[in-house]
Amino acid sequence: MYAFGMTDFTNTPTAHPTPTNPHLVCLVAQSRDGFIAKDSTHRSETWVSDEDKTHFHAKLNECDWIIAGRNTAEQYANTMRPYNCLVFTQHPENKVAEHFAHLDPEVDDPIAYLAAHGAKRVAVLGGTRVYDYCLENNLLDEVWLTIEPTDFYSGLPAFNKAHLLEEHLSLKAHEDLNDKGTELLYYKKDYA
Ligand SMILES: NC(=O)c1ccc[n+]([C@@H]2O[C@H](COP(=O)([O-])OP(=O)(O)OC[C@H]3O[C@@H](n4cnc5c(N)ncnc54)[C@H](OP(=O)(O)O)[C@@H]3O)[C@@H](O)[C@H]2O)c1
């Protein structure tokens, strides 16, 4: 029995099997009305709970690579410095930081890139277009969705096609992170 995305090497007569796909873990914090930020400059640490920050860093530390969009990578370049980071951009020649990798996912396959570079567990950090790309292409193995008890009324949505979350993954756990109303939802892909 092989997990989704892994290769059965039993009939492969080579000492150099193709690399296996990495496991993608999506980390997202949204307002009660479904936004990850009021605009592209609205930093998450200004409104998420301390409990979400602890959860976020614990999950991030389990990963060996990060995927982030250009805006998020620019905002958090210092935080992301210790990690291997793949920045989604339509202009890979304009680097956020010299030591980050840059790729246009409409041109090059990010999963092939990560697999070729030995990525095992990848944190998908957003923003919206990055979450959309990964969800719409059914790339996410896990989604950790924090819902904070605040409303923005407008802003950047977490997912433009949020219904795909429950089509591609299953809700496995739902817990209160504190007594102020912060909730944590855990979705996981059901492997065949
Ligand atoms: N609450 C949360 O969990 C959370 C998570 C992440 C971010 N945020 C917040 O959200 C805001 C940033 O989000 P955002 O949606 O504006 O920006 P973003 O996704 O970080 O960056 C958008 C840029 O990334 C590139 N990009 C993203 N997806 C792409 C794709 N599929 N193909 C090609 N290029 C792609 C493009 O860069 P080019 O213009 O270079 O082509 C695009 O302009 C910040 O305030 C950040 O703090 C919150």
For residue 20, the model assigns a pLDDT of: 87
Atom from ligand 1 closest to the CA of residue 76: 47
Three-state DSSP state, 21: coil
For residue 191, the model assigns a pLDDT of: 75
The CATH code belonging to domain 23-188 is 3.40.430.10
Ligand 1 contact, 31 CB (< 6 A) = no
Nearest residue (by CA) to ligand 1, atom 34, is 89
Q: How far is CA 153 from the centre of its chain?
A: 24
For residue 19, the model assigns a pLDDT of: 57
Angle in degrees, CA 140, 134, 30, rounded to 5: 85
Three-state DSSP state, 23: strand
Ligand 1 contact, 165 CB (< 6 A) = no
pTM for this structure? 0.91
Q: How many CB atoms lie within 10 A of CB 151?
A: 12
Which tens digits make up the pLDDT trace of 17-31? 455 899 999 999 999
DSSP string, 50-69: HHHHHHHHHHHHT-SEEEEE
For residue 10, the model assigns a pLDDT of: 32
Ligand 1 contact, 139 CB (< 6 A) = no
Which tens digits make up the pLDDT trace of 91-129? 999 999 999 999 999 999 999 999 999 999 999 999 999
Domain ranges of the chain: 23-188
Mutate to test the pocket of ligand 1, among 53, 55, 72, 161 (most ligand atoms within 8 A of CB): 72
**Contact partners, residue 131, CB within 8 Å, separation at least 6:** 26, 28, 36, 124, 158, 159
